[in-house]
Amino acid sequence: MAGSRQAIKTPPPIDLPADALQEAASNQNIITLDDDEPATLRVLLSYFYSFVYDDSSRQLTQSLSAFAVHVYAIADKYDVKPLQDLATQKLKNVCNPVTNVEDYIAAVDAVDELTSPKDGTLWGIIIPKTIANIGFLLGTTRAKELILGTEALNVALLKRLGRANTGHNDDEDARDDEEQDEYGSSGYVPFSTGGLSFGGGRRLGSG
């Protein structure tokens, strides 16, 4: 009949077994972000759009160096190596134990807490800065307590002291730099300190 509409029948719903629905849901590629800090997550998502390190989401009261460590950790979690490299460079540029000791302390805490014992990348930045400014840091109560209480720093300092006492030279330090990929669970990260040696110095535990 002209002008008439043909009725469209809706097919009956498919009654799938509960276990089939559960299996279908489990096969979806789902990334849970509940455990990630919103600020560092914003850096990660921003990187996917701009391919730059943008830490504008950082709270003004948060340490620049520690935030870089947090970004490094989330990039490591999601295997975004270029962002890890940018965070590493950021830490190297901004961490200065002398001009901002509190920032340095926050960075050491973050590296100790967030990075794998087998990943010496960020220790390779922190330890040389610690060695280069050891006199100043041991004269600062909080920094001294942190250094004495952090295994990775203790091992590296003792190792360097032992080398200084046995006449270890810069050529050996240079070879150690080439072996950084061999960093293991001992906590020691090889590095070059430009021939820095230790004298009598300040006694640990003294003011």
Confirm if 108 and 150 have CB atoms less than 8 A apart.
yes
The band of 93, judged by pLDDT with boundaries at 50, 70 and 90, is very high
Higher pLDDT, residue 16 or 164: 164
pLDDT value of position 160: 77
Q: How far is CA 141 from CA 53, 105, 136, 138, 175, in A?
A: 33, 11, 10, 7, 34
Average pLDDT over residues 82-99: 97
In the predicted model, is pLDDT for residue 23 greater than 60? Answer: no
pLDDT value of position 7: 56
The band of 185, judged by pLDDT with boundaries at 50, 70 and 90, is very low
Q: How far is CA 168 from CA 49, 125, 137, 164, in A?
A: 48, 21, 24, 6
In the predicted model, is pLDDT for residue 25 greater than 60? Answer: no
Average pLDDT over residues 132-157: 90
pLDDT value of position 22: 60
